[in-house]
Amino acid sequence: MCGIVGYAGKDRAAPVLLDGLQKLEYRGYDSAGVAVFEGNSLRIVKKKGRVKELEGARSLCGRVGIGHTRWATHGAPSEKNAHPHAYKQFALVHNGIIENADALREECLARGETFLSETDSEVVVHLIAACYAGDFGAAVRAAAKRLKGSYALAVLCSDFPDTVLCARQSSPLVVGKGRGGLFVASDLPAIAGEGVEVFALADGEFATLRGEEISFFDGEGKPVPPHAVAYRFREDVPEKRGYAHFMKKEMSEIPAVMAKNAAAFLESPAFSSFRRALLGAERIQIVACGTAYHAGLCAAHAFEKLCRVPCEANIASEYRYRDPIVPPNTLCLAVSQSGETADTLAAAQIAKERGAYLAAVTNVAYSSLTRLADAVLQTEAGREVAVAATKSFNAQLMLLYGVAAYLAREKGRKAPPLGAMAKAARLALSAAEEVRGWTAHFLAAKSVFFVGRGADYFTALEGSLKLKEITYLPSEGYPAGELKHGALALIEENTPVVAVVTQKGLAEKTMNAVHEAYARGAKIFAVTDLPEVAACKEAFASVLLPPCPEEYSPAVAVIVLQALAYYVSVARGNDPDKPRNLAKSVTVE
């Protein structure tokens, strides 16, 4: 994780670096720092906390520099662990994890070197210094050969104060040229602009930013051709437009986003190739993390129910290490808002290597996942700023439901139309305002349960994840039928239990679990489209959802749970947009 930036050009570097870091803050906000050349000497400013803490560095005058916003892996969030890390004439910023850092640190300690931080990254700057004999590029390449793990690096050397050197292995890195300068960053939006050409570094490649040119090299120092990234520049400054938080604003966009995404896959430039793979698929494997995994669970349910094609959703970090079986005619759907999640990328790569046709379902057109995939099915959710995913989840669901409905019909089976879903979402959004009145019952809860069966269970999982992420309340999403096998022991007087009940055939069964919890003192909150459930005597409070086909109901019911998490988060005095310890894009294992 972490975001890195670098600049070498005609303008003052500090403002460019700080603006770039602001755009990368979704990758982590534990600490931030910059290093800028003032003449031949390096000025380093680092702070614990968010990028805005670095404002004092904006006045630095130098025209070459690097910057970093951190999501802590090795070492606590603190000023001393903040990047850039410096040693002798070098300073660097790093995104990734160096897996052999301990062994390398031992070597440095044996040479009598001392360390100022607990990070794996500081080891890299020591290693570069140890490999240095006057050739900056050769030192970085030699050091890179000894690193195990993942890294995107931007390095400065005070013997070459006009140069930024970059290296990449399994962590995203792009470089750009234009508007009088050369740029490097973890992600395109940090450097995109009118007239800026952007190039992606491949794994094992290096780039030198100097003067007016960027040069690209392989690990032996041989020049390699640049890989241009085509993108359409849109000045995309996220604004809250009167909402108190991005999360609330992004939720308000859900109905429009849902309307856009039901048929979005038909627009894919690779549609005919994807269609062949879809129609020929004997099984579907979905790989994803976090909220995207929950979208995968919902989609797998719809694929099996509507199309009768075996479909499994996999947590990407588990799939990649379980030696997965990928039989012939497997379609792999890798679902990822950012397209940069390290575990999802690795799982998708494995599925592809083992013969699956790989389709990326992602919100970011130029992401690493799109480069890996055979076909890209782009979700049209627009930029999502809040760390907790909301509208991107609904977009993923609608796109995947659209694919499932399409496949069902191609197989001569029936599938409910998706046309009325956006309207149902609009109604759910206004009904969800009722949960403001529920917050008092959640504020001090020791634990919260979300329960459901069938597709409702997946909604419960996502509702629980939202609550955990932004309120920090312990919560669990549970299959209603499993409650009695353990979790019931945690139910006490007034424990909030949120029951999601939209699957008509399973409603009675879910209600059995609700009765059991109620009998033990639980306070029941029902989220349902069944009037009889909303009005049942066990429900302390309920939100009545608009009707919608039960195969697709998570896309509507989840809106109420997103709102619940949001209002409880605000009532607890948290910033729902930037939950502690979390980042929007997780580019480390």
Our CB check for ligand G6P shows the closer of 307 and 345 to be: 345
Query: Smallest distance from the beta carbon of 335 to ligand G6P, in angstroms?
Result: 7
Residues 388-427 that bind ligand G6P (CB under 6 A): 388-389
Our CB check for ligand G6P shows the closer of 384 and 529 to be: 384
3-state secondary structure string across 190-257: HCCCCCCEEEECCCCCEEEEECCEEEEECCCCCECCCEEECCCCCCCCCCCCCCCCHHHHHHHCHHHH
Query: Smallest distance from the beta carbon of 165 to ligand G6P, in angstroms?
Result: 29
The one-letter amino acid code at 142 reads A
Catalytic one of 46, 47, 260, 584: 584
Residues 319-338 that bind ligand G6P (CB under 6 A): 336-338
Question: What is the total count of residues that contact ligand G6P (CB under 6 A)?
Answer: 16
Query: Smallest distance from the beta carbon of 308 to ligand G6P, in angstroms?
Result: 28
Query: Smallest distance from the beta carbon of 375 to ligand G6P, in angstroms?
Result: 18
Our CB check for ligand G6P shows the closer of 316 and 511 to be: 316
Query: Smallest distance from the beta carbon of 240 to ligand G6P, in angstroms?
Result: 19
Preceding peptide of 84 cis, ω within 30°: yes
Our CB check for ligand G6P shows the closer of 390 and 553 to be: 390
The one-letter amino acid code at 68 reads H
| Nearest of 120, 90, 86 to residue 105 by alpha carbon | 120
Residue 2: active-site member: yes
Query: Which two structure tokens, joined as six digits, stand for 198?
Result: 């952007």
- Residue 540's Cβ-count burial label (10 Å; 0-12, 13-18, 19+) is middle
d(CA 451, CA 523) in angstroms, rounded, equals 13
Q: Which residue has the tokens 């491949």?
A: 202
Q: How is 366-415 classified by DSSP, letter by letter?
A: TSHHHHH-SEEEE-------SSS-SHHHHHHHHHHHHHHHHHHHHTT---
Rounded to 5°, angle at Cα 339 from 336 and 340: 115
Query: Smallest distance from the beta carbon of 265 to ligand G6P, in angstroms?
Result: 17
Query: Smallest distance from the beta carbon of 455 to ligand G6P, in angstroms?
Result: 19
Residue 584: active-site member: yes
Check binding of 73 to ligand G6P (CB under 6 A). no
Nearest residue to ligand G6P on Cβ basis: 290
Check binding of 545 to ligand G6P (CB under 6 A). no
Our CB check for ligand G6P shows the closer of 309 and 313 to be: 313
Catalytic one of 2, 108, 311, 332: 2
Check binding of 289 to ligand G6P (CB under 6 A). yes
Our CB check for ligand G6P shows the closer of 396 and 502 to be: 396
d(CA 194, CA 227) in angstroms, rounded, equals 19
d(CA 130, CA 142) in angstroms, rounded, equals 10
d(CA 246, CA 233) in angstroms, rounded, equals 22
Check binding of 170 to ligand G6P (CB under 6 A). no
Our CB check for ligand G6P shows the closer of 205 and 469 to be: 469
Check binding of 290 to ligand G6P (CB under 6 A). yes
Residues 365-394 that bind ligand G6P (CB under 6 A): 387-389
Query: Which two structure tokens, joined as six digits, stand for 263?
Result: 């048929």
Active-site positions read 2, 584
Binding site for ligand G6P (CB under 6 A): 289-292, 336-338, 341, 344, 387-389, 582, 584-586
